[in-house]
Amino acid sequence: MSTKSNPKKSNTPPQEFSELVANLLVSCFRGLKQSLSKDNELTKKLENLEGVVRKGVRISPASGLGKEIEEYFDRQKTEQNFQEEEKEIVKTMVLEVAETIRSMLSSSSGLETNISACVKNIEKAKSIQDILKLKDTFVGEMQKVRDHSQSLNDELEEHRKASTVLAEKLEQSQAQALVDSLTNVLNRAAYNMKIVQLIHEFKRYKEEWALLVLDIDHFKKFNDDYGHRIGDRVLKSVAGTVRNTIRISDQIFRYGGEEFVVVLNRVDVSFATQLAVKICRQVEKDYFVDGDNKLKVTISIGGTIITEDDTELSLFQRADKAMYQAKENGRNQVVMDA
């Protein structure tokens, strides 16, 4: 009696499964490399492994779990960079206080020398007229001491106030994430910290910078017509476009809802306007695709340049008012506060 032999089962996994695993591995490799320096030995090993994987299997753009993995590492990297920057801010503020105290001691010793000289001259004086002349000089030196002490006290008080506010913001940040989980840009908590530092730096170094307030036009319509899932994707799309359009030295924050804030460093009103228009046009150019539908997304931008008398609130209010003016003017445009 003849028997049929069973065909041997293949130990090779299906191509689709191999590609899925390979794509997940590449997403992990990319994320891990972000937290390492380029000359790190582990970075080189990960690059070699990625090369091996790419040779064996076709790698497609990240999606699904792979996309979630990359976004997770992106959030970690963004928060890490921001926290490193804040550490440098604290160091700078401490050094500024130390420099102020050093200046006080140095200047005071100079004044003390002048006063000592006045005392010696008074002791050597031989007439009432000589004493009266030296008296006027002595009074003048004492007035310098009072004026100088008051000036230094005022400066130290400014340092104390700024340091206290920043310390409170830093303490709050330890209890909450600094990156918006949906859009992968810095969130309002990070903005609250950053704005304190920027205002402090402006008052010390006088380098102008601009604040932009961005709002997605007719955002409610996306949620109402297509659902909140599409609304979330629009938010992510706009945040990504803005982040890719601004310079490395600039920063974007999700302020709340469909509103974002951008800080443009070292710009005057003319350059800030150019950059704001560039952002506006790029968002308009990048159609949002949902299946077969191309959904046009636009934003309205209001901006302002920091001034000597600005507070966190006054600065934001001017930019926000300009943004609402852009809305009233027809949306999809930029209005800079003059």
- Could you give the C-alpha distances from 321 to 196, 279, 302, 313, in angstroms and in order? 21, 19, 7, 12
Q: ∠ CA 118-119-121 to the nearest 5 degrees?
A: 65
Query: Quick one: angle between helices 312-328 and 188-205, nearest 10?
Result: 110
Distance CA 312, CA 315 (A): 6
Distance CA 79, CA 106 (A): 41
Best CA proximity match to 114, nearest among 86, 85, 134, 93: 134
- Give the list of residues 6+ apart from residue 305 with CB closer than 8 angstroms, or none: 208, 209, 210, 267, 268, 269, 272, 337
Burial class of residue 264 in the structure, from the number of CB atoms within 10 Å of its CB (0-12 exposed, 13-18 middle, 19+ buried): buried
Distance CA 115, CA 139 (A): 9
Helix (H, G, I), strand (E, B) or coil at 75: helix
Q: β-strands 288-290, 299-305: how paired? A: unpaired
Q: Known catalytic residue: 47?
A: no
303, amino acid identity: G
Q: Which of 258, 259, 308, 328 is an active site residue?
A: 258
Q: ∠ CA 238-240-242 to the nearest 5 degrees?
A: 70
Best CA proximity match to 266, nearest among 310, 315, 201, 208: 208
Distance CA 285, CA 291 (A): 18
**Annotated catalytic sites, by residue?**
258
